[in-house]
Every structure is written in C-alpha cells, then in structure tokens.
Amino acid sequence: MSELPHLNASGEAHMVDIGAKPDSERVAVAEGWIVMAPDALGSLERGELKKGDALGTARIAGIMGAKRTADLIPLCHPLSLSRVEVTLTVDVDSSAVRCEASTATRGATGVEMEALTAVQVALLAVYDMCKALDRGMTIEGVRLIHKRGGRSGEWWR
C-alpha cells in the first residue's frame, strides 16, 4: 500500500477526495531567497530607489502565480484565494532578496501550495530581471514557515 495520499492502491496518481472535509479558515506563509553577486544586488537596489518597479514586478508575478497554482501543480485542487500578500526585501548582509508570501482561503483544503508557488514565481521574476548581471544566482530555502486551519491545527517552523 502506498503511503503518499496522491497515489492509490495501484500506485497511480489521482486528485484526492476532499468532498467530506469541512470548510475552515486556512492560512499559509512561505519564504525563500535568491542569492546573487553583490554587484547585481547593488544594481537591483539602485533600480528600486528610482521607481520600485523591479521588486514591484516580482511581487505582482508572485500574486498572479498564486492564482495559477492549480493550473501548474497536477494534483492540486482549484480554490478561491481570499487574500494574497507577497513581500520582497533586499538583504545586503546575505547578498540576497528574501520573499515571503502569505495566502488565505475559506475551504476544505490548505493553501500552502499557493504560498510556495507565489514565492517560486516571484523569485523567478527577480532572476529574470537580474540575469543579465549575474548568471550564477541561486534560489535557496524555499519552504513553509506557518500553516493554520484544517484538522492539523496550527503549525510554525
């Protein structure tokens, strides 16, 4: 017997049944970093000082990415997000941009995939804008940091 809920007794992938799960308030928060060369980070910061458009573009990419989660992740249930917030902050000490995404819904299944997808897409958008300056950028530490709602209650990393 398979232990992964998305695999049935024959080992075949399916979208698990959430029809019997009650609705509850669901919240998830995820984070991640993109580490880049100090010079590239400096250019990003100077662009930010001017107009704020580089990180603003990545923030919008993350929010719109959260809404595409069920389109991208094969076995994810479609759900109606009631809130999405994405913040991107320049961290000079670690020569990185940190992204944090928070998502919420009222429904029968959690929103952690939506928060993680927001982080991944926002960091990819930063990568895209900075790639002419540094090809060696690395996305690190993308993970869930908080989850609330559903049978499993509240969880903090």
C-beta of 66 vs 93, nearer to its own copies: 66
- Least distance in Å: CB of 155 to its own copies? 6
**Residue 130 near residue 141 (C-beta atoms within 8 A):** no
Q: Is 146 annotated as a binding residue?
A: no
Complex with its own copies: residue 92 or 106, whichever CB lies closer = 106
Compute the least distance from the CB of residue 99 to its own copies, in Å: 12
Residue 113 annotated as binding?
yes
| Residue 45 phi, psi dihedral angles, 5° rounding | -65, -40
At 6 the three-state DSSP class reads coil
Contact 126, 43 (CB under 8 A): no
Phi and psi, residue 26, nearest 5°: -125, 135
Residue 76 marked ligand-binding: yes
C-alpha angle with apex 45: 95 to 62, nearest 5 degrees?
80
Catalytic residue among 53, 91, 128, 134: 128
Q: Shortest Cβ distance from residue 127 to its own copies (Å)?
A: 6
**Nearer CB in complex with its own copies: 30/93:** 30
Question: Catalytic annotation on 39?
Answer: no
- Confirm or deny that 77 is annotated as ligand binding: yes
Rounded CA-CA distance 40/55 in Å is: 14
Q: Give the pair of three-digit tokens for residue 51.
A: 């107009």
Instruction: Indicate the annotated binding residues for substrate.
Output: 75-77, 113-114
Residues labelled catalytic: 128
